Structure 1
Amino acid sequence: MKKLFVILALILGIVGCGSKVKESKNKIVKEGSISVKEVQKAGEDENIVVMDTRSYDEYNGWDLKGNGINGHIPGAVNYPTSAIKDADLEIALERKGISVGDEIIIYGEESETMKNILIEKGYTVSIFDGGVEEWAEESLSFEKLKRYETIVPVSWVKDLLEGEKVNHYDGRPVKVFNVGWSENGEPHKKGHIPESYWMHTGWIEEGPVWNRVSDMKIKAEMERQGITTDTLVLIYGDPMAAARFGVIAKYAGVEDVRMINGGLKAWKDAGYPVETEMKNPEPVKEFGASVPQNPELIIDLPEAVELLKAEDGDLISIRSWREYLGKISGYDYIKPRGRIMGSKWGMAGSDPWHLEDYRDMDQFHMRPYTEIQKMWEGLKIDPENHLAFYCGTGWRASEVWFYAQAMGLERISVYDGGWKEWSETKETKKKFLKGEPKVLNEESFID
């Protein structure tokens, strides 16, 4: 048990949590506002943190105010003032690598509110009043999520559905899907985004392994749902289930699939109306292409074995720590316990039904991508390699795939069969490990 805590402490230390308090080189934080030059200087000191209190979407790169600004000040962490209500403040800040000994410079929405709350908790805080607008006036560069347009704000969705002109839309037909596990759509009947349809994941995957259905069935399901290769497909609901459908749609050949950041919770928080009426999409006669158009997005067991042998490939386990160690299988329908030999642990969440390590504190928005990047760095996950994510049967792995593609990773896949297939297949079921690794994420696959 002691070794477990040492391993986790090392990971968290690298990604920013549990950081040691050091003496600041430059005292920047002060009464009153600070200048652009002082914000630039802050980047030289590891104990001075720049915090962006705007929305997750603006931080990612969306220009929601129409001021031509895409992204955030380089090096800034993201903690929207509106997100304070979603979780314990100290826990949220620790996840972002901020401790009481740090000095914090904040900019963005309701900065004064955030400052007062932080000061009350014992943090040292100052405000950069100029924010992104002054930063832009100085012709300084911004950072952003590389493919931020694939993770869309609810305000953008609302404008699009109401016929307003929106950025990053080329006029193609639109279908919105609320995705989860329920053949009769009970979650959908309780309230959904207007004009959205219910998608039961049981229509695109099947037991006993819970891999995707056949290519022929995928094509037929796309057509039944009124989807062609040219359709803009917007997904929300259970984020894991939505991503599972999204990856399969991309695999089939749908050109444009996007996730609604924050889903129904964000929609309701914005005060937008919901519907309860169930509607079925009008089917189309032809999907528009043979399936799959993008076969590389999903790999099966033979490809997973080859990836483990490759010098530039990694199989990434998106499972809880207890699942990874083999303490539990995580599912009542999966008996074997352990991890695929040679795979790397990519973190996940508390159990098979949660993915806290990849979502922000409200559990519906994508975690700020800069935090995911730091987490992967600490886990020795090389984004230049071919990464195939796996979990028990594909849901958690699909959600991480969706975030990885938004981060601009090109060589990424989902290993569809996951732990269930691997652990129950004659050729591979003995190729597994249990217990704490001697060195995390440096185990080898032995053929």
Structure 2
Amino acid sequence: MSLVTTDWLEKNLTNENIKVLDCSWHMPNTKRNGKDEFLKEHIPGSIFFDIDKFSDPLAKFPHTIPTSDLFENLSSEIGIKNSDHLIVYDSLGIFSAPRVWWMFNYFGHNKISILDGGLIKWKNENKKIENGPEKISQKSQFKCTTKNEMLVNIAQVKENINNKKFELVDARSKGRFDGTENEPRPDIKSGSIPKSCNLPWMECINPISKCFLSKEELKKKFEKININKSSTVAFSCGSGVTACIVAKAFEIIDGKNFSIYDGSWTEWASQPK
């Protein structure tokens, strides 16, 4: 059950095995702050999951996946247990929650579901909202079992240009991919990684309901970009967040394995010329 509906969550909010995480994160050019917005409104009982905090503090690029030790410590601090069924959502419908879904899967915790439609759908249905700080339960002892195959690095991406071991799908807008639209980070030029293809993340989401498109609709989106169905697939974007949306869409179709290029275009475009 990798996606749950708002009605399902409403019925299961009091289940002691359920933990709800507000994973709201915003692009740097929006001037919005996920934690500030969480304090004003969130789904009852939610805990705020800070994507930037759950990142490697020594990394050169934004919100790089942390070490397993750091992820264990931070998850334990907010009371997450290996027995918990995590429900992740964000304030934009489907945007940053898939990143957290991927992170937990990468660290071996697959008891995690995305709230389809997120906070937008929840509010549109007039379901209950809370405000103020979260109530953190007792510190836990969360443990990771890292799945290294769910991550690719820049060396693998460079090698892949010549040996094509996997398909690389870029989740950014067509303009950013083609180099005709500016990147949100002013020091980064737009463009694309050689031999990658483009499926903008927005095309995987219903613009009205903010839910993922149906399985059949998503299947057609992937058929249009003509990737090799027998190949493994990796996903990239600007900095590793929206790549996870398209990766989730790919997983919805038939549950195939995938990986994320975490450094994504920000790392690629920052290489010395």
Q: Could you tell me the TM-score, scaled by structure 2's length?
A: 0.87
SS of 1:233's partner is strand
- Give the match for residue 274 of structure 1: 129
Q: Is the 8 A contact 1:392 1:418 kept in 2?
A: yes
What are structure 2's unaligned runs of at least 5 residues?
26-31
Q: Deviations over 1:218-253 (max 9, x none)?
A: 221111121233221100014321111221111112
Number of residue pairs the alignment of both structures matches: 262
Aligned AA (1:178): D
Deviation digits for residues 53-85 of structure 1 (CA, Å, limit 9, x no counterpart):
xxxxxxxxxxxxxxxxxxxxxxxxxxxxxxxxx
Q: Distance in 2 between matches of 1:310 and 1:226?
A: 44
Structure 2 distance, partners of 1:288, 1:213, is 14
Q: Which amino acid aligns with 1:215?
A: S
Distance 1:233 1:331, change over 3 A: same
Please, which of 404, 409, 425 is the counterpart of residue 271 of structure 2?
Answer: 425
Deviation at 1:282, TM superposition (A): 2.3
Q: Does 1:371 align with 2:226?
A: no
**What is the alpha-carbon root mean square deviation over aligned residues?**
2.2
Matched with 1:158 is: 10
Once the two structures are superposed, residues 352-386 of structure 1 have per-residue CA deviations (whole angstroms, 9 ceiling, x without a partner) of: xxx42110022621122212211211111234321
Match of 2:253 in 1: 407
The structure 2 residue matched to 1:301, chosen from 150, 154, 160, is 154
Check if 1:361 corresponds to 2:207: yes
How far apart, CA to CA, are the structure 2 residues paired with 1:246 and 1:283? 23
CA distance in 1, matches of 2:189, 2:41: 38
Please give the residue correspondences for 1:136-151 in structure 2 after superposition, counting only pairs within 5 Å: 149-151=1-3
Identity, % of aligned positions: 20
User: Which residue is equivalent to 1:204?
Assistant: 54
Task: String of CA shifts for 1:255-293, please: whole Å, max 9, x gaps.
Answer: 21110011112222333211113214225342134xx52
| Conserved? CA contact 1:231–1:254, under 8 Å | no
Equivalents in 2 of 1:269, 1:325: separation in Å? 35
CA 1:283–1:296 in 2, change beyond 3 Å: closer, same or farther? Answer: farther
Opposite residue 406 of structure 1, the aligned amino acid is I
| Cα pair 1:301 1:415 within 8 Å, conserved | yes
Selected match of 1:190 from 25, 28, 40: 40
Partner of 2:236: 390
Match of 1:326 in 2: 179
Residues 283 and 244 of structure 1: CA distance in aligned 2, closer, same or farther (over 3 Å): farther
Q: Secondary structure at the match of 1:339?
A: coil
CA distance in 2, matches of 1:212, 1:368: 29
Contact 2:121/2:209 (<8 A) preserved: no
Instruction: Name the SS for the 1:180 alignment partner.
Output: coil
SS in 1 for 2:181: coil
* CA 345–156 in structure 1, closer or farther in 2 if over 3 Å, else same: same
Deviation string 1:97-137 (CA, Å, 9 cap, x unpaired) is xxxxxxxxxxxxxxxxxxxxxxxxxxxxxxxxxxxxxxxxx
Runs of 4+ in 1 over 6 A off after TM superposition: none
Q: Which residue in the other structure is 1:179 paired with?
A: 23
Q: Check whether the contact 1:308–1:315 (CA below 8 A) recurs between aligned residues.
A: no
Residue 248 (structure 1) aligned with residue 92 (structure 2)? no
The amino acid across from 1:324 in the alignment is: F
- State the Cα distance separating 1:302 from its structure 2 match: 2.0
User: Which residue of the partner structure matches residue 128 of structure 1?
Assistant: none
Structure 2: how far apart are the matches of 1:284 and 1:254? 18
Write the letter of the residue equivalent to 2:269.
S
